[in-house]
Amino acid sequence: MNEDKNEEDEEQEMVEIFVMGKRYEVPEGLTIMTALEYAGYKFTRGCGCRGGFCGACSTVYRTEEDYKLKMDLACQTAVEDGMFLVQLPFMPAVREEYEIEKVDPEEHDNVLLDHYPEVARCVSCNTCTKSCPQDIEVMDYVQAALRGDIERTAELSFDCIQCGLCSIRCPADIKQYHMAQMARRIYSKYEQPDSDELAKRVKEIEEGKYDEEMEELANMAEEELKKRYDERDIVEEG
């Protein structure tokens, strides 16, 4: 089995990476996550959906002869020759506790600032934006929060996956992603217009309109379910 693996390695282009200072050779084209597993690391934390959605695999790395510190998701980033990396499965950023029923923005001058006062320390360095693997304009939504603009904060942070890389690089120790999550919750409860279509669909579900169809899907074989998913009609907006 080892001989087979060696033959495969010889056929593949290999790159040199360093994990916690230790040198490894791994096949070119692997993601950081799969390269770590190839090197013998077993994930007990810092590995979630593997699809770039959960934010669990935040990673910090440098590349050879480049002084810049880079941040990304291990499941989405390919290894490079001369990459020095470290896995950071947890960001120690404290999330403020609150009861959603008691954070009505109409009753506060700036409800986000009340719970995350460190937002006022923002120096507009834009490091948080540069750190974001989702290319979210993090500094812009922090500034919106500072102005008390909950809708704008929620809108700009909508694609946040809570990886925490913005927070770990922030010189002001702002918990951007937790604050933004609070903004989205407040906006959805207090400010977002009610959807007539949503109310209609909820009523249809409660009346059992989709029970038969859901039962069919629940009992469908896996391959048939995948085929149904691949062949579904997708309605594009606009």
Q: Are 161 and 98 in contact (CB under 8 A)?
A: no
Higher pLDDT, 10 or 15: 15
170 and 111 housed in the same domain: yes
Q: Is residue 179 part of a domain?
A: yes
Q: Is residue 177 part of a domain?
A: yes
* The pair of three-digit structure tokens given for residue 44, joined into one six-digit string: 């007990």
Query: 238 pLDDT exceeds 70?
Result: no
In eight-state DSSP terms, residue 176 is H
What CA–CA distance (Å, rounded) separates 44 from 147?
41
Give me the amino acid identity at 198: L
* The pair of three-digit structure tokens given for residue 111, joined into one six-digit string: 């409800």
Query: 13 pLDDT exceeds 50?
Result: yes
Higher pLDDT, 146 or 54: 146
pLDDT one-digit tens code per residue, 152-201: 999 999 999 888 889 888 989 899 999 999 999 999 999 998 888 988 99
Other Cβ atoms closer than 10 A to 146: 17
62 and 31 housed in the same domain: yes
Supply the range of the domain harboring residue 27: 11-87
Q: Is residue 231 part of a domain?
A: no
Residues in the chain: 238
What CATH number is attached to the domain comprising 21? 3.10.20.30
Q: Is residue 136 part of a domain?
A: yes
The torsion angle over the Cα atoms of residues 143, 149, 152 and 156, rounded to 10 degrees, is: 40
Structure confidence at residue 3 (pLDDT): 55
Crossing angle (nearest 10°) for helices 176-186 and 138-146: 60
CA distances from 154 to 111, 176, 229 (A): 13, 12, 31
- φ, ψ dihedrals at 85, nearest 5°: -135, 160
pLDDT one-digit tens code per residue, 65-123: 887 888 889 999 999 999 998 766 566 677 899 999 999 998 889 999 999 999 999 99
Q: Is residue 124 part of a domain?
A: yes
Mean of pLDDT values over 203-207:
95
State which of 151, 172, 191 marks the end of a domain: 191
* The pair of three-digit structure tokens given for residue 118, joined into one six-digit string: 């460190």
Residue among 185, 163, 179 nearest 53 (CA)? 163
Structure confidence at residue 196 (pLDDT): 87
Query: 1 pLDDT exceeds 50?
Result: no
83 and 152 housed in the same domain: no
Query: 9 pLDDT exceeds 90?
Result: no
137 and 57 housed in the same domain: no
Structure confidence at residue 93 (pLDDT): 72
Element (H, E) at 59: strand 58-63
81 and 148 housed in the same domain: no
Are β-strands 58-63 and 83-87 bridged in parallel, bridged antiparallel, or unpaired? antiparallel
Contacts of 89 (CB under 8 A, 6+ apart): 45, 46, 47, 56, 57, 58
Q: Is residue 159 part of a domain?
A: yes
- Region for residue 229 given its phi and psi (left: phi exceeds 0; alpha: psi -120 to 50; beta: otherwise): alpha
Q: Is residue 210 part of a domain?
A: no
Q: Is residue 94 part of a domain?
A: no
81 and 15 housed in the same domain: yes
Query: 231 pLDDT exceeds 60?
Result: yes
Number of domains in the chain: 2
Give me the amino acid identity at 54: C
Position of tokens 């040199």? Answer: 16
